[in-house]
A and B are shown apart, each in its own frame.
Chain A
Amino acid sequence: MKLPHRRPRPAPAPPPLLCRWDLDKTYLRSEFDTLRQLIRTARERGEDKVEVPGVPALMKALQAAADRRGRPIAAHFISASPPQIGKAIRDKLALDGVPYDGIVFKNQLQHLARGRFRFLREHVGFKLGELFRGRLEALPGTRELLFGDDWESDPLTYSLYADVVSGRLAPAGLEPLLRRLGVDGQVLPELGMLAARACGLDGADRILINLERRTPPAVFRLFGPRLVPTFNYFQTALVLAADGWLESEDVARVAAALVERSGYTARRLENSLADLLRRRLVASEVARSLGRPLREARLLPPEPRSWRGWMERVRVRLRRAPVVGPQAGPLDYEAIFARMRPGTARAGAQGARA
């Protein structure tokens, strides 16, 4: 008997991807440690601004990978800088040719006008609010990648957000944490409301922290395996490729940009890859398959062909423990506060005693 011809069912469309980017120290190499640097940064034009090496190539690679798979993708910047520098930032992004869908700045004038100077440097509440709003406007089933740096509160803000979205942190549990962080009391009710709506939407899969300050990676263990600290955007691209967001050609694009524009050498890229392997962020087999086209393109040095080199590779593979996935358990925010913001932890303990 001949079976009736059935049309193959079309593959389900991949879920949309929402990339959230911090701006200063994540995309831009902004210097504002001193008042003079702050003034200079504020007066810079688009062409004066300098990006962190490899980041435009990574953003383009994410777009290209999503386009190949028919995945809707959006990239949004959330910056605690004032909107007055918006034009220079937009000019810079246009010069770099990076695809993005939105950019939000923090309205510092609002705090200045009310004389609330201590909130000028408090960004957790502002960023959290924008993250929730952006997520509530996103398509259902959206997956998220969060990009930040090790200068201020990105690891903490992103972790709080991802925990609320995943349902691990109840909106009611968020408020006391934000109070201890010194978030403006006037925005807490709105944050609570946004958190309640976003709770359980899930999909905030990875937090990628650019170690611009070269903070020791062990510091970030408290944030669990969902948060990955990386030393350059080649490492970020490799982690994203291991997670399935990029392919080897996309990683090669980032590597080539670093070699051509920022003076990276094949050996330094190889060292970066080896560092990820040692930190168990990428499995040996994945690194090998991703590395092959890079070696062919001479972006990585050729593998030694001697039996000693082969033995060494086998030995390394046997010695290494398995890679840890991004699934995070509940985070210990007490320990995080004690490590990242000792003053906050003390205040919390005193509050508890009172």
Chain B
Amino acid sequence: MPTIAVDAMGGDQAPEETVRGVADVSLQTDIDCLLVGDEDRIQAVLERVAYNPEQIAIRHCTETIASGDDPRESVRTRRDASLLVAIRAVAEERADAVVSAGNTGACILGAARHFRPLAGVRRAALAAVLPRRAQHPGQDPLALLLDAGATVHCDADELVRFAVMGSAYARRVSKVPAPRVGLLNMGGEPSKGGEVLVETHRRLAALPGLDFVGNVEGHELVTGRADVIVCEGLLGNVALKLFEGISEALVDLARAAAERKLVWRMGLRLLAQGVDSLQALTDYRRYGGAPILGFEQLLLTCHGRSDARAIANAVKVAAKAVRDRVPAEIAGALGGGWR
């Protein structure tokens, strides 16, 4: 039974939705949770919802890091912040993984400060899941995109490590025996994208044990061409947010159109099931959190707007990753031989 430390105060709707999510997990699964945050506020929410106290511990702390706070300064000065206390609980082996919907920058810096990096990893990567059209039999409907914002620019060495880490994660969590790895670029030819991407392409193509499918262009992100898409953080974050924005805009446009004409409204009614499934496909709440890869310990960051369902799914993904020994798999793939 893994124990997941949850930053109860992180996120736009914390602690209400965070605590509700953990309460749901306590009723649906055998996962133990350590809620970190203001005990009185956490308890006030708990008493209003159905929960199983046997699987919930609370660690009181007094400070929080808000989404708008400077990550570097906050991590340096707020030792008793819920996020950092949760991270330390994992570092000190009182819990197995962290889930937070709080400040992503503080998550990455906090992990870098308290977690042990895997052998050979210089920089961690934020791995986000991306819904896509499956093209091959048994293919996971989600692709992994990394880095989605832990870094800004990377060199070829770091991108190669991201590819290896992402491939190992997909192998364990998505149960894909040989994940197809692609490099996000502005063209399919190996010579495209500048010095770093050309060098990365050359090295990935030569790497044994990795199913490298070559460069992947923007429009191929939502196809089944690659299970793991590698890029530097700036590009990955822009791609991810663009994708979220487009899917939200599509649903909004459809609703706005329906309000204008009766015929369109009727048409939308007929298409309701399809629109719902499109919305469900792009709904971040279904996919839990994005893991930060590169450490011996696990941290999953969730969307800042996460509700109870998103938090519950993130906790379940974290527990699955712990059970499947994902960091050990990644270390093995990197040749670190950790544990």
Chains A and B are bound partners: yes
Min C-beta distance of A306 to chain B, whole Å? 10
Among A218, A271, A319, contact of B53 (Cβ-Cβ < 8 Å)? A271
- Is the Cβ of A271 less than 8 Å from the Cβ of B39? no
**Does A38 make an interface contact (CB < 8 A)?**
no
Q: Do B56 and A216 have beta carbons less than 8 Å apart?
A: no
With a cutoff of 8 Å between Cβ atoms, the chain B residues found around residue A215 in the complex are 50
Binds B, one of A194-202, A238-246, A274-282, A285-293: A274-282
- Is A217 an interface residue when CB atoms closer than 8 A count as contact? yes
Q: Which residues of B contact A213 (CB under 8 A)?
A: 50
Main secondary structure of the interface of A (DSSP, over half): helix
Say how far A241's CB is from chain B's closest CB, in angstroms: 18
Any A CB within 8 A of the CB of B325? no
CA A243 – CA B1 in complex, angstroms? 34
Which chain A residue shows the least CB distance to B3?
A: A267
A214-B27, A267-B32, A278-B39 known; A315 vs B60 contact (CB < 8 Å): yes
- Interface 9-residue window, one of B41-49, B123-131, B209-217: B41-49
Partner of A272, one of B32, B40, B54, B58: B54
Asked if residues A232 and B47 are in contact (CB atoms below 8 Å), the reply is no
A-side contacts of B295, CB under 8 Å: none
Whether B49 and A216, one on each chain, are in contact in the complex, defined by CB atoms closer than 8 angstroms, is: yes
Cβ-based interface call for A268 (8 A): yes
Answer whether residue B115 sits at the interface, using C-beta atoms and an 8 A cutoff.
Answer: no
**Chain B contacts of A214 at CB under 8 A?**
27, 50-52
Given contacts A214-B27, A271-B54, A319-B60, contact A278 B49 (CB under 8 A): no
In chain B, what residue has the closest Cβ to A268? B54
- Give A55 Cβ to nearest chain B Cβ, in Å: 16
What would 19 more interface pairs be, CB under 8 Å, given A214-B51, A278-B39, A319-B39?
A214-B52, A216-B49, A216-B51, A217-B47, A218-B48, A231-B54, A235-B53, A267-B57, A268-B32, A268-B55, A271-B53, A271-B54, A271-B55, A271-B56, A272-B53, A272-B54, A274-B53, A274-B57, A274-B58
A333 beta carbon closer than 8 Å to chain B = no
Docked complex Cα distance between A308 and B55 (Å): 23
Beta-carbon contacts under 8 Å, A228-287 to B: 231-232, 235, 264-265, 267-272, 274-275, 278-279
> Given the complex, which residues of B lie within 8 Å of A316, measured CB to CB?
39, 60
Bound together, the chains give a CA A232 to CA B54 distance in angstroms of 9
Central interface residue in A235, A264, A267, by most chain B CB within 10 Å: A267
Q: Is the CB of A264 within 8 A of B54?
A: yes
Chain B binding surface, main DSSP class: mixed
Cα–Cα, bound, A135→B21 (Å): 45
- Given the complex, which residues of B lie within 8 Å of A231, measured CB to CB? 52-54
Whose C-beta in chain B lies nearest to the C-beta of A275? B53
Residue of B1, B32, B48, B57 near A216 (CB, 8 A) is B48
Chain B residue with Cβ nearest A315 = B60
Distance (Å) between the CB of A90 and the closest chain B CB? Answer: 31
Q: Which residues of A contact B48 (CB under 8 A)?
A: 216, 218
Q: Which positions in A face B, CB cutoff 8 Å?
A: 213-218, 231-232, 235, 264-265, 267-272, 274-275, 278-279, 312, 315-316, 319
Q: Which residue of chain B is the closest to A230 with respect to CB atoms?
A: B53
Taking CB atoms and an 8 Å cut-off, the chain B residues in 124-151 that contact chain A are none
What is the bound-complex CA distance between A232 and B53, given in angstroms? 9
Contact B47 A279 (CB under 8 A): yes
Partner of A271, one of B27, B49, B50, B57: B57
* Contact residues in A for B32 (Cβ distance below 8 Å): 267-268, 271
Which B residues between 46 and 89 are near A, CB-CB below 8 angstroms?
47-58, 60
**CB-defined A-B contacts under 8 Å, sample of 17:** A213-B50, A214-B51, A215-B50, A216-B51, A218-B48, A231-B52, A232-B54, A271-B32, A271-B53, A271-B54, A271-B56, A272-B53, A272-B54, A274-B53, A274-B57, A275-B56, A278-B39
Q: For the complex, give the distance between the alpha carbons of A264 and B30 in Å.
A: 11
Indicate if the CB atoms of B47 and A218 lie closer than 8 Å: yes
Check A216–B47 contact: CB distance below 8 A. Answer: yes
Chain B contacts of A275 at CB under 8 A? 53, 56
Q: B52 contacts which chain A residues (CB < 8 A)?
A: 214, 231
B60 to chain A, nearest CB (A): 7
Look across to chain A and name the residue whose beta carbon is closest to the beta carbon of B59.
Answer: A312
CB distance from B56 to the nearest CB of A (A): 6
Q: Min CB distance, B225 to chain A, in Å?
A: 45
**Please, how many angstroms separate the alpha-carbon atoms of A12 and B198 in the complex?**
93
| A235–B51 CA distance with the chains assembled, in angstroms | 15
Tell me the smallest distance from the CB of A128 to a CB of chain B, in Å: 28
| Identity of the chain A residue whose Cβ is nearest the Cβ of B34 in the assembled complex | A271
User: A312 contacts which chain B residues (CB < 8 A)?
Assistant: 60
B50 neighbours in A (Cβ, 8 Å): 213-216
Alpha-carbon separation in the docked complex, A272 to B50 (Å): 15
Given A218-B48, A315-B60, A319-B60, A278 contacting B54 (CB threshold 8 A): no
Which residues of B lie under 8 Å from residue A279 when comparing CB positions? 43, 47
Q: In whole Å, how far is B187's beta carbon from the nearest beta carbon of chain A?
A: 54
Q: How far is the CA of A62 from the CA of B152 in the complex (A)?
A: 65
Q: How far is the CB of A231 from chain B (nearest CB, A)?
A: 5
- A231 nearest in chain B by CB position: B53
Report Cα–Cα, A275/B49, bound state, in Å: 14
A279 to B57, CA, bound (A): 13
Going nearest first, the 10 A-B pairs with the smallest beta carbon separation are A275-B53, A268-B54, A214-B50, A218-B47, A278-B43, A217-B47, A218-B48, A271-B57, A231-B53, A216-B48
Q: How far is the CA of A268 from the CA of B53 in the complex (A)?
A: 8
Smallest CB gap from B1: residue in A: A265
By a CB distance below 8 angstroms, the chain B residues around A315 are 60
Q: How far is the CA of A271 from the CA of B50 in the complex (A)?
A: 16
* A226 smallest CB distance to B (angstroms): 18
Name the residue on A nearest B53 (C-beta): A275
| Complex-state Cα separation, A77 to B55, whole angstroms | 31
Q: How far is the CA of A157 from the CA of B231 in the complex (A)?
A: 65
- Shortest CB-to-CB span from A67 to chain B, Å, is 30
CB distance from A131 to the nearest CB of B (A): 29
Residues of A within 8 A of B57 (CB): 267, 270-271, 274
Nearest CB of A to B156, in Å: 44
Interface residues of B in 1-39 (CB under 8 A from A): 1, 27, 32, 39
Q: Which residues of B contact A265 (CB under 8 A)?
A: 1
* Docked CA distance A353–B97 (Å): 59
